[in-house]
Structure 1
Amino acid sequence: MENYLSIFFFLLASYSVIANDSIQTLGTWMSSNKKTPWYYLATFASLGLILTVAYSWYAYDGDISYGRLAKIPYQPIQWYHGLAPLILILLTRIGIPVSTSFLILATFASSVVLESMLLKSIVGYALSAIVAYVFWVAISKVLDEKASIRDKNKEWWKRLQWISTGFLWWSWLTHDVANISVFLPRQISFTMLILILVFFTGTIFFIFREGGGKIQKIVLSKTNTKYVRSATIIDFVYALILFFFKEYNSIPMSTTWVFIGLLTGREMAITTLSKHRKWKKLFPMVSNDFGKLVLGMTVSVVIALGVNYIAK
């Protein structure tokens, strides 16, 4: 019974995590490539996912989480462990970008690990906001999305965007696959790996066919994210920040907090540089996004407390 629950909740978590978080990494790329058939984009994303997960399985002795679960040992799966992915699906469908790391891993991690995750995520939010602000102010004088791109530069920017998206997709997967594989033993067989990759690919194609769902609206609400140059720079900066935290230590963190922090810093920079845009229009947007993060955190804590109470 435990094995069936483990597989079922893994599949449930796979869809909920990818549907909620993948838009953070692929959303700007999707919005700036609307003229490209969705199945081409889905194929590119699927190939990147397959290579990334397969390499982790090979390099980490059957572990597809890149060692992120080293401090969260495997636990026998019970029915109450499925509450988190079920709630995540619900929140995703209504467009709330909650932290899947906290929502899923909170039911498995110890209080010490959770404290470390929270601290790392808060630092990630602050660092990404600062980096995005400074970076965007620095390049603002040489980048104007309202000005048309010269024909000879269009293809160059497009290729660069696909490269930055691939780098970001890989960086994100090295963090967030842990939120899915926590339901499985830390070492899986080759047959299980193949089945997982097939399911992951099917999930990616479904999400792309839907156009990203309601989470994509958050990306589109930000200034210029549909433009290829802005999308390329956002993805590249986001990927570098995730790569930094990946190398820093193996403690899981919320990539959602990093993503929202990045967009917050960028919007603040645009407001600072704009002669017509006022700060009072920015704060509702920032507070709304941050409020959703706090809501997700609150839900995660409540679920964790509830699961621990039931388990005892």
Structure 2
Amino acid sequence: MHQGGTRLRVLSIPAGHVYTAAIRPEDVEYLPDPDIDGHWWPHPALDAAWWEDLPAEQLPDLVHLHFGFDHLTPGQTGAFIQALRSRGVPLVVTVHDMDNPHLKDQTDHHEKVRLLVDAAAARITLTDLAAAHLPVGTRVIPHPQVVTDPPPGAGNGQAPGVFLKSLRGNVISDPFFYRILARTVRRELGRPLRIHLHEDPATGDLVRALSGGRLSGVIDLRVHAPMSDHTLHEAVAECRTVLLPYLRGTHSGWLEMCRDLGVSVAVPDCGMYEGQADDPQGVEKYRTGDPLDAARALIALYGRGPVPYAGDRAEQLRQIRAAHRAVYREVTGR
């Protein structure tokens, strides 16, 4: 085990992701991500064989696994755990996804999470709701700030909106859902539902189904290339409230982004999204996949008006980093 100096050397999987970069304590070193054709995944350290040849002086003080293990089978996950044990490297696991948003069949994912949680020297998750489904002693450390430089006018948006991007696997793609949602919102609020979609082969059918005709004035359809973070933040800030159109999942960085911008969020009841809220007035839960209940949630939020973020993000980030530092020092005894 590496003992040089006082800085802990943590193999964070991943290290350079916006979330993991934000939570890293200043006196902790995260080992750099590999460059695999310009990406960090699949991280080679998740392969048990990687540990067999690693010189003792290069061993990290601990491994902190967040995500990126989708490609592993449960058997390979068990082999990874055993490899860490054989080298005496403790494992810290943050459970971001109790349900993997990109998978319809959760069987293998649930088994892998169980194996990792059972083997971990420390377990972390983002909400009390998620912790209630994990072993006693799981620490709750909230999601940090996403937007550090809000655009002018953030918190004064007026549109009810939904951002579908390129229709990833956990996003509702049925045009019927959006037609019913938009017509109900238009009738009750007198405003069209603003729908953002990427220009992408995957979105073509939905774009055609939501364009023109009797939906004119009901749907404000905006089809565009993927946005930079700054442009995205401006687009979200033009909304008073935004709907998360998810079919599954657990926690959401998108929700945190909206709340940083003072935008309220209609969230499905399939995950732990409601439990992320800084202010109960800033979210409204709806039945997953139900367009009428989704419309009810959007309309209720719209009627509340702007809901600014409740709390001090800078102080929260200080506490988040201190909490991770405490976990790392506890599991290493340093």
Same fold (TM over 0.5): no
Answer 1 or 2: which has greater helix percent: 1
TM-score, with normalisation over the residues of structure 1?
0.26
* Higher RCO structure, 1 or 2 (CA under 8 Å, sep 6+): 1
TM-score, with normalisation over the residues of structure 2?
0.25
